[in-house]
Chains A and B, each alone.
Chain A
Amino acid sequence: MADKTPILRIENMTKRYGDKEVLKDASLSINKGELKVLIGPSGGGKSTFLQCINFLVKPDRGRLWLDGREIIRARKKEIYGYRQKVGMIFQDFNLFDHLTALRNVRIALVRVKGMNKDEAQDRAIRELDRVGLKSYMHQYPAELSGGQKQRVSIARALAMDPEIMLLDEPTSALDPELISEVLDVIRDVRSDGMTMIMSTHQIGFASEMADEFVFLEDGFIVETGPPEKILYKAQYARTREFCSKITELYGNSF
C-alpha cells in the first residue's frame, strides 16, 4: 500500500513554553499511505507535536515539507492552503456547536474551498453517509453522543480531501462502548489509503494498524520502530517500561 514518496517531512521541530521545552528537535518523515502512531505518557508532547505540525501551535524552530515543498510559516495564505490539506481530529471533537452535523461538514467546503452550496451539500451528505451518520445530519452537536460527534468530525476532515490526517487521541474522551464505532471508521479510512499520524493509548488497535510507533517522552522522540519492536524489543529501558505498562492495561494484541 505504501509507496516511497515522503509526503510529509518534519525536521527539528522545537516548542517551548516559558522555560520548559515541550518539544525538542522532533523530526519525522512519513510516506504516502503510512500510519504512524505517537505513543508515550501524557504531557510527553504528543498533542503539542501534532498541533505544531499544522501550526495551530507555533513552533519556535523547525522546518516542514509537504510533497517536497517547504511550508513557510510567515506566509499566511500558504498556511491556510496547507491546513486544508492536513485534516485534524481532536480529542474533544470540536464540532461547531451552532451548526448541524451537515453544516459542520459543509461550512469549510463553502467558506474555505469556495465550493457552491449544492455541490458542497452533496459532498457533505456523502461523507456523513460514509461514517454512518446520514440520518443524523440535521442534529446539532449537543444532540449527538461522543462517538457520533467524533465520526462527524472525521467526516468534516475527509470532506476537505486532505492528503494527510492528524488524529490527536481520537478516542480518549469516549466511553468504552463508543470507542469501537470510532475505531471502525478510522480503520475504514485507513484501508482507503489515507496517510495518518495518530496519537493514542489504544495500543491494541494501534499495533494492528500502524506501520511505525514513535515513542515520545518529555518532548523528545526516544525511539521509533515497527510496533512489535517497540512493544517487545525496545532498545531503551524507558520505552520498555512504558510499553509493558500500557500493554498490561489495554491488552495484548499479538
Chain B
Amino acid sequence: MEELFFLQPEVVSALVKGFCVSVKLIVPSAIFGFIIGIIVGALMIYGNAFTKKIVDGYVLIFRGFPLVVQLFIWYFGLPYIGIYLSPFVAAVLGFSLCSGAYQSEYVRGAFLSVKTGQTMAAQALGFSKIKMVFFITLPQAFRRALPGCGNEIIYLIKYSSLAYMITCIELTGEGKIIASDSFRYTETFMVIGAIYLLMTSVTAWLLHRLEYRLQLPGFEQYS
C-alpha cells in the first residue's frame, strides 16, 4: 500500500504539468525543425554555390555541437550580447535548429531519390526552378523523406528532456524534483520513462497513419 502513496495528487499534478510543458516544447520544435529541414535540404540540392556553402556550414555546426552546449549558448551565452531569451524560447530555438540540421539530410536524400527525368520534364515544360521544386520534386521527396523525418521527430521527443538543463522545467525536470524530494528515483523515472514511451508510440502511430494517407501508386510503403 505504501507504494500507492507515491501517487499522491501533488505528484500527479506535477507530472501532468511537466507533460504539458514537454508537449509545448516538442510540437513547435518538430514543426519548425521539419520546415527548416525541407528548406535546407532543398538548398543543398538546388541552391547555388553560395547558398550551398551556407547550409553546409549550418549543418556542420548544428550537428556537430552537443545539443546541451547549443542550449547553453542560446540561454546563457546570448545575454552577453544583450539578447535575453526565456528558457522556453531558448529551448524551442535550440531544438528546432538542431532538429532541422538532421532533418535536412533526410530531405536531401529524398530529393536525390527523385529521378532526373522528373526535373528534365518539368524544365522542358517551362517550370522555373522554384516552381519545379515546389510542385514536382518536393511532393515526391516528401513521401520518401517521411520515414527518416519521423525517426528524427521520435528522437526529438526524447532529447526535449534536455530543456530542464536551462531551467525550462518539463517532464524530466519535474521528475527530477519529485525524485529528489521523495528519494524514490527508481519509481519516478520508471513512470517518466513510461510517459515518454507513450508519447513516442502515439507519434509513431500518427506518422504511420500519415504515410498511409499519402500513399500513391508507385510510392508504396512496404510496412
Contacts and interface: CB of A to CB of B under 8 A. Distances in A.
B218 A142 contact: yes
A96 B118 contact: yes
Contacts of B218: 97-98, 140-142
Given A111-B135, A142-B218, A143-B217, A97 B140 contact: yes
B120 interface: yes
Interface residues of A, number: 33
B128 interface: yes
Contacts of B143: 98
A139 B131 CA distance: 24
Interface string B113-124: 001011011111
Given A92-B117, A111-B131, A54 B125 contact: no
Given A111-B135, A140-B216, A95 B126 contact: no
Given A96-B136, A98-B216, A98-B219, A108 B126 contact: yes
A107 interface: yes
Nearest to B121: A94
Interface string B44-73: 000000000000000000000000000000
B121 A96 contact: yes
Nearest to A80: B126
A94 B217 contact: no
Contacts of B164: none
A94 B124 CA distance: 11
Nearest to B140: A98
Given A156-B125, A160-B126, A94 B216 contact: no
Contacts of A111: 127, 131, 135
B118 A94 contact: yes
Interface string B73-108: 000000000000000000000000000000000000
A202 B158 CA distance: 61
Nearest to A113: B126
A107 B216 CA distance: 17
A94 B125 CA distance: 12
Kindly name the residue among B118, B124, B143, B219 whose own CB sees the greatest number of chain A CB atoms within 10 A: B124
A160 B123 CA distance: 13
A76 B131 CA distance: 14
A136 to B, nearest CB: 13
Nearest to A166: B124
Contacts of B139: 98
B123 A94 contact: no
A86 B217 CA distance: 30
A154 interface: no
B126 A81 contact: yes
A113 B135 CA distance: 14
Contact of B123 (A56, A81, A95): A56
A2 B203 CA distance: 64
A160 B115 CA distance: 23
A153 B126 CA distance: 15
Given A54-B124, A56-B124, A113-B126, 14 more contacts: A83-B123, A83-B126, A90-B121, A94-B120, A95-B121, A97-B216, A97-B219, A98-B139, A98-B143, A111-B131, A112-B125, A140-B216, A140-B218, A143-B217
Top 4 nearest A-B pairs (CB, nearest first) are: A142-B218, A84-B126, A88-B124, A94-B121
Interface of A: 51, 54, 56, 76, 80-81, 83-84, 86-88, 90, 92-98, 107-108, 111-113, 139-143, 153, 156-157, 160
12 contacts: A56-B120, A56-B124, A83-B123, A94-B115, A94-B121, A95-B121, A96-B122, A97-B218, A98-B139, A98-B140, A107-B135, A112-B127
